[in-house]
Amino acid sequence: MREDRRVTVYIAGDSTAANYPEDKRPMSGWGEWIASYLAEEVRVSNRARNGRSSKSFIAEGHFDRIASSIGEGDYLLVQFGHNDEKPDEKRHTDPGSTYEEHLTRYIEMARSKGAHPLLLTSVERRKFNEVGELVPSHGDYPAAVQRLAEKLEVPLLDLCSRTQEAYRKLGAEASKAWFVWLEPGEHPNYPEGERDDTHFNELGAQKVAGLVAEALAASGSPLAGYLKAGAAG
């Protein structure tokens, strides 16, 4: 029996959603900011971890720790893909087979606890070609999430499409403002500078959290009822 019946939103994901310590700032994940779009009675438990895939998150015990605490009426936001694409055996999954198999475990676990799962496609990387066109980087993984969400009747938050649209509107140069792009000497945590087109800075993470809220508002999930007035759009 849980001592506290507040609705809790759990996040299972990778570095694009994770919390960051001060020595990694300004790097930030959208999971650090999503609470600002939700009603005060909602608690956010951000379990996202750097470098994890849908497979390694389970193997390392993070999945079981969520399963031991999630309860009836809670929500589980699941976003993996960046590291499922990696070739190493501990993390790699294949869209069309093992990727969906692992994601299905999250859905089944949440439902077995009386909680509500939601699937999120991966946020896009900032990758533009020489003529300024955004280059999609996730291959078949987003479509696999979409198919699984439809098959298992799980609300889908298509962050891949929403971030692609946002980057295209910003363009190749202005979109750097969302990411950890730093000149040498600009920030004490990165004395030699940094050019990271995957990880967000605090501005970018806040903006992406806003995109999550917008997607949530359109998702049909009961969690949308906990959005603050005017939080989406």
Residues classed as catalytic: 15, 192, 199
Q: CA of 107: how far to CAs of 19, 25, 130, 177, in Å? A: 23, 32, 40, 35
For residue 84, give both structure tokens: 């499922």
Asked whether 94 and 53 are in contact (CB, 8 A), the reply is no
User: Tokens 């696999």, residue?
Assistant: 144
**Can you list the alpha helix ranges (DSSP code H) found in 15-97?**
54-59, 62-67
Asked whether 206 and 220 are in contact (CB, 8 A), the reply is no
